Amino acid sequence: MRRLATFIFVCFASFASVAAQDVATRSLFGDEVQPGNRLHENVIELVNSGNTSVQAIAMAIASSMTEEDTTLNPDAKSAIAFNVPLSNDFYREMIVVNSLIDVTKVLIEEYPAKVIEVITLGVVLYPDFAQEVLDGAALTGAITPENALVAALQAGADPSLVSTATAAGVISTGPISPVGIGIGAGGAGGGDTTVSSN
């Protein structure tokens, strides 16, 4: 029995080590210019120093909210302070999937009443990747692409970097008429459905 307990402990320790290495070696979403990337980096450093992901997220967010900390700009501090639990959930997901589209989609599906807050948080933390926030929001169907665009612009997204075209995907313009309708009348397209005798 003692051997089994030792074996299980060694397996668990090995698994934890591999998981920690995966977190440490994976590249983070965005770039160092993005406030969200810098905060994500702080979370990973805290995880690598032995904290659980939940503890690391809470500690990194608390530290970044201090006046002297420069990890976040004032807009990002404000967005995080507006809903700290949602911000914790944002990084809980970001650690797992490392994708802004996926994080946006998951959080909107979890909190459909907070769709504007999720969009604002994503845009403020990753301003150069605001289109990915719009794309994630559009995937949920909880908000129209146009309303998501308005929310992103209100959150400070650069208008030259975002559009509804990508967020909306392919837009159906309605049913397509079958070929042959309107052909006839001597080929003049007058709407006569009889076939030309030519």
Q: Please name the residues in contact with 109: beta carbons below 8 A apart, sequence gap of 6 or more.
A: 140, 142
Q: Rounded to an integer, what distance in angstroms lies between the CA atom of residue 125 and that of residue 36?
A: 4
Average pLDDT score over the chain: 80
Q: What is the pLDDT of residue 27?
A: 84
Distance in angstroms (rounded) separating the CA atoms of residues 148 and 89: 20
**Mind listing the pLDDT tens digit for each residue in 153-188?**
999 999 999 998 755 553 433 343 444 444 444 445
Within 10 Å of residue 7's Cβ, how many Cβ atoms? Answer: 10
Helix (H, G, I), strand (E, B) or coil at 81: helix
Structure confidence by residue, pLDDT tens digits, 28-67: 877 788 999 999 999 999 999 999 999 999 999 999 999 9
Q: How do the residues of the chain divide into helix, strand and coil, expressed in percent and rounded to 5?
A: 65, 0, 35
Rounded-to-integer distance, Cα 90 and Cα 88, Å: 5
**H or E stretch covering 180:** none
CA-nearest of 86, 123, 78, 130 to 108 is: 86
| Cα dihedral sign, 25-26-30-35 | negative
| pLDDT tens digits, 64-107 | 999 999 999 999 999 999 999 999 999 999 999 999 999 999 99
Is the per-residue pLDDT at 15 higher than 90? no
pTM above 0.95, yes or no: no
Report, in angstroms and rounded to the nearest whole number, the Rg of the chain calculated over CA atoms.
25
